[in-house]
Structure 1
Amino acid sequence: MGVENINNIKCAFCDVPFKVSLSFEYLIESIKQISGEAGHPMQSMATETLDMLAGHPELCSRIDDKEILEENSELVRKLMAFLINPLNDNVLMAALFPPFGMQPFYCTQMFKDVVLGESKTLEIAFDLAEDLDKMLVSLLYHAYLLILDKVYGLNLYKDKPITLKLTDENSGLVKYFTTRIDTQYVRVNPLQNHKKLSDDELKQLFDKENDLDYWNEMIPLENFEFSGLMKFDYVDSTYDYVISQLKSDLLDKNAIITLDGFANVKNRIKSLIENPFLEVGMMAIHDFESSYNRNYIWKSIIPYQELSCEDYRDTFYEKALTEKKIVITNDLAKVDKNKVVEAFLKRNIRSHVVIPLILDSEVVGMLEFACSMPESLSMIQVKRLHELFPIFALALQRSKEEWNDKVRAIIQTEFTAIHPTVEWKFQETVSNLISQEYESSESAGIEPIVFPGVVPIYGASDIRGSSVERNKGIQADLTTQLHMVKELLCCEEPLAEIPLVSNLCYKINEFLSTVEGGLKAGDEVSILDFLRNEIEPVLNIMRNRFKDMVEPIDKYFASLDPDLKVIYSKRKDFEDSLTLINDQVSDIIDKEQVKAQQVYPHYFEKYRTDGVEYNAYLGQSLVKGLPYSDIYLKNIRLWQLLVKIKVARRVRKLQPELKTKLDVTQLILVHSAPLSIAFRQDEKKFDVDGAYNIRYEITKKRIDKAMVKGTRERVTQVGRIAIIYSYAEEIEEYRRYIDFMKSRKLITDNVEDLELEDLTGASGLRALRIEVNFDDLESEPFDKIRIEEVIKG
């Protein structure tokens, strides 16, 4: 249970619902124990303190008035010395609070210097929904953990560190601190009889760990009082936290490309280098002779509009590029002037660092820092980011690739990704637009591109159980890898007795149980992080220390995929099998679609998921200069059926080659009523037009889950083709095709006429389900079929 890992928290609280009181009683109990321990280094101090307390009973019970602390400040300091060593007053950050209080009643001088002040804001680092108070939510969770620990005896309260964010509004500097809370001097006092919770109720409680309102129903917080004091120790974790956050940021493809993403990266670098006035730039480069640098990521401190590529020649940028080393300029005012130096001085920038970002021995870009103060940037500061330079390089390279992909996509979308059948319409529309703009000074809008009266064709070949098989592959590979590391670490007695290794063995067994019980969202990532970040370092240490471990550990690492660094056997089998099927299905459709376009031009789009689907539209409005006839629709429908049979036979023939046994289910949706399609300018694609026609889209999206009425059987089954329709008139044409295919032994005599369960937004559906004949897979019975003769016959 930890608030940092919870999303969608439900919490109606606006304030702390329980009672709290400051008390030194439990600390005094510990001091009494010390006074009775002969030889304890603080025994005399404890005895002296207790003697002083005898004259101040107001400090020995609940303290409601802060003036009591002020009036007895010397004695309070003496008491607090048992918790915070006075010798560390200027070197440790620590503070003492009433239970769940927001203001410390005692703290070290360093805490005062670093944290306190009107310009400084201390808050929890992680984010929650905007309408929730992060500090309050965290406080409530800790209160519940203390209740479960001290009242219910569940021993759940762990000294889990909390990361706090300290912002100095004056300087803009952000720092992070890891905070540990000592609750040994806190007592939880039930104000009335508390409800005992059964095992089932506890399970329900933790199943709803993000629902604080439910928790309060089960354990009302107003029924408890927290008495005593809490000690907070603060450790500056800015470096570790920011490095971790930067790594996460740079995994996001938008971290460098977008303004917000790059601003976030810059702010983290400022925190890391501890310079709120730092300026940060990053550039993806091609070469200094290229005039295309603007086509890449170019977020330099000096805007690219002010300097040409030629201006960077013979500067510290070129030196960093050619020599592949960091170049620091302590004072730009004292170096030889050129356009780059003058541009920096114009902005009152005096010190500068440029870092080449290297990937596979090649410089892919530059990272630069600058500051208005001379000699304010040192190699020591830059080296704080050293471990991130390869990640910056990788992120920059990925952003370049994203950029190029986007450019290609825009070119395809705007200019070339228009199906040849309807290209004439776009040319006509643009011609009209240009003509109107020439004729009028006002800007003309693009007229809607609509094709009325077209008949839709839809088909899908879906991989049955692909998600199940994918999960099986992941489970098998993770199980294999966990067993391998278990055999390496947990079966050697000398190793198993090492506490760290013992803890790792416990985690391995826990993860094995998790995998065997079925993976949930996030489990795979957690296990892989554990294997990479906890197991691998230990194995490397063991390999260096124990000679007899070298061979088995090398064998383990050799078994990992060289790119993914994990066991990638069953998953690869699955992916290879899935890809092989999809490639074959797609290849059949592509080749047959060329033939279908020769029958009559029509709009066609295909897309791959865990299978292959396609949409087609046929009608006069799509084609200019070639009369349309219903005979073409019949041709395409029979073509579609024959292609489905061909796909089923090809996939069945592939079965011996598949390392993971996968097969396809296939369906066709029949929709005879003509509809309109329109080009959506915002989505750059065609979609059905008009509210009535939306029913077709709804049906298309849901039919693969349709059930045979009165059963739990899906209409789509392996080895069969489901022809789904709404009206009896629509299917008569298909019955003729089915009789023909029976005569050619393409399908069996097993033809089912099924009524389907109603779907949301689509009712009254039926299906003809035909069974493909797989008796002779070596023959090619399609080559001699002339579709036109079948249609006419």
Structure 2
Amino acid sequence: MNTNVIKIHKNECIGCQVKSNLSFRPLVNYLKNRLKTEKTVKSEFYRFLLEKIEKENDLLGNITTQELAKHKETLELIFTILTPLMANENEMFWALSTPVPDEIFFSTNAFYQFFKDHDPKSKVSQDNEPSEKKQIKFIYNLILDRFYNFTSVLKNEIIYAHVNPENNLTSYYNIQNDTQFIDIQHKGDLPELNFEELAKHFQEGTEMEYLFKELSLKNFTFEGFSVISITDVTLQHAIDGIRNALVDHNYQTEAYNHVIQALKTLSRNGNIEFGLMPFLTVNNKLVFDNQDFSQSMLINSAKASNLEEEVFYSLVDKYKEDPRPIFVSSINEDQMAKDPFLRVLKAAGVCSYSVLPIYYNTQLAGVLEVYSNQEIIVDDKILSRLRPAMPLIGQLFQYSIEEFNAKMDAVLMDKFTALQPSVQWKFNEAVWHFIQQNKENKKHKQIDTITFKNMYPLFGAIDIRNSTVERNQALKEDMHVHLLNIIKTLKGLRKFVYLELIDKLIFNCNDWIVRISNVASSNEEMLLNEFLAAEVYPFFSVIKVNHPEAAEIVDDYFAEILPETGLAYENRRKLEVSMQLINMEVSQYLETAQQNLQTSYPCYFAKFRTDGVEYDIYIGQDIAPNKPFDLLYLKNIRLWQLTSMVEIARLSKSLIGEMPRPLETTQLVFIHSNSIDISFRNDERRFDVEGAYNIRYEVVKKRIDKVLIKGTTERLTQPNKIAMVYFNADEAKEYIEYIKYLQDQGYLNDDLEQLDLEELQGVSGLKALRVGVKYLSKTKKKELAQAKAQDLSMNLN
């Protein structure tokens, strides 16, 4: 045992906070009370200690910590009484201190060494509170408990963390303070406290200010001593850390790192590493290329070694059939010959590798990997430490699986179905009604048709100008390149083989060049492909086999006709890239814009890919029953539609410099004032109009994209213009007001046209407005960009 005095707080004023006397009088009183009731042999021991303390008079009065060294024998007797009889003082962290812990005057050797080796400033809860304030809380906690029977949330314990420099692992210790041998006296009348107000201050974190005001410490005196004990709670803290990761609902990379670190703490072996591999599936097939939900050494090693996915999948599928712990303490050549995955692990520097199956509700949820670059035996001792964490890891895996599936469903919902948040509530009601009906009637019934009545429609189309002409032109150019390449190849083959058929094929190719110079379409492409398949390809294949010296020329030809890289497809690839660029940028703009639009009033927005992008918008009371609908929301969305068409025109114009094959777009709006009904068609998974009259709306919007201006051959839709098709003058009047506003705002040119349109099949009386888009100068673009950057900066600040 050790009687060296340890000063806990070197700079803080602990002793001046409250009057404190070191004394053993409270222990004497305790022993006297125990002797009145104790009937076992312990009573003799209590009596012996009591008599010894009473003989040493200075222990009954106020004594300093320095004076206690001469009472070591008595202190050892106190240690014997207050601790289990078989306790080993060289392993037990135990000490006696002043009433308000400031100086330790007697301790076990283990405690003394612990205090020397560990920095008490490395406390886990980094609240930056000074030690003086913590001691004041400790003092008030005791006073409230003893005099007011008020137990606060303050605890007489502290958790400390210590990082072992040898293995980099963290150990956690619970430092507790036993205050039963402290007596507290109060001078004068005890103040009354308003406990409702005190509880309120505790909630607000201002309890200290309140207590300083209402309960002065200068009237209190602490007498006795404290018993301090330290318990290693590393294992429990590690388990709590894993549990906290689950409670925080953070199941991705950060949580996995946290759990792995906790497992290393549990193992108490700095040479052991851990991997987590939940079994994620797509269409019941395991997938592993997902860094959000997996940190697996095996997966990373397989990728680094370019192990074929099928080999990896078959390995895991085989394991799922018979999940069991696998222990490989040292990977050797014999084992690598049997299992290819051990070879990739060895290549990654792994020496030992073990797998433990992880279950959730008896279902295999994944595996826990235990590995090291040294030879490690995963024995029962390590497994017993890891076992409490297994159910929690199973729960973590299950959460990861559920979140992965939710992400899949969210993207599926967003990208591949017509169901949107604005209308999902009605689908939810229909599903619930369907379930209830089947439950009550025990018969399969049809699910209700999802219908929204009296919806105001808006239609817009952004089309790529002359897309069919552009496609045919690109096809014509590629076919020309292809035919020239055939001719070049045939002439090259003459150097190695003489066949009159070569001249015949060259003649045919020249004939095809003339044939496509006038017109090229998918029909000509099909006929040319038949010619190639029937005459050219077989000829080249025969030449390559029978004349190996000519093989290189033939291979060069086939390399030129690869759709992904060959020159014979270059123009079509450029066109496709340009079209995709426009469609992607326009789609992203519309997606973002419509999300902002939803904040004013919910609406249904459906986007479709054609050669460009088309969209339908439906808005009305039936889509949001709990939010009153007013026509001002319809006017707002119509103005938004016109403004967005200007922005899209500007956007597509700005993309021309980025396109490998420059393309232009046209912008078209169909104005329809009357409301219509729409229903969800289960067979096509989309909304469609309902009723004969409403179907006319669908017919018109599908035909107006190629409508001509009456009495001319000019198409209504033109680049750099926005065309608005309508039936009655009132519709035009409303949009003319919007146009005037946008002209004033610098969006549109002062060139508004009011046009009559040619009759379409079954449709007459169509009219149109057409106005030019005002494009921004470079200076104006720069000013707007700076203004947006400034707004963003202000929002961030």
Normalising by the residue count of structure 2, what TM-score does the alignment of the two structures yield? Answer: 0.48
TM-score, normalised on structure 1?
Answer: 0.48
Larger radius of gyration: 2
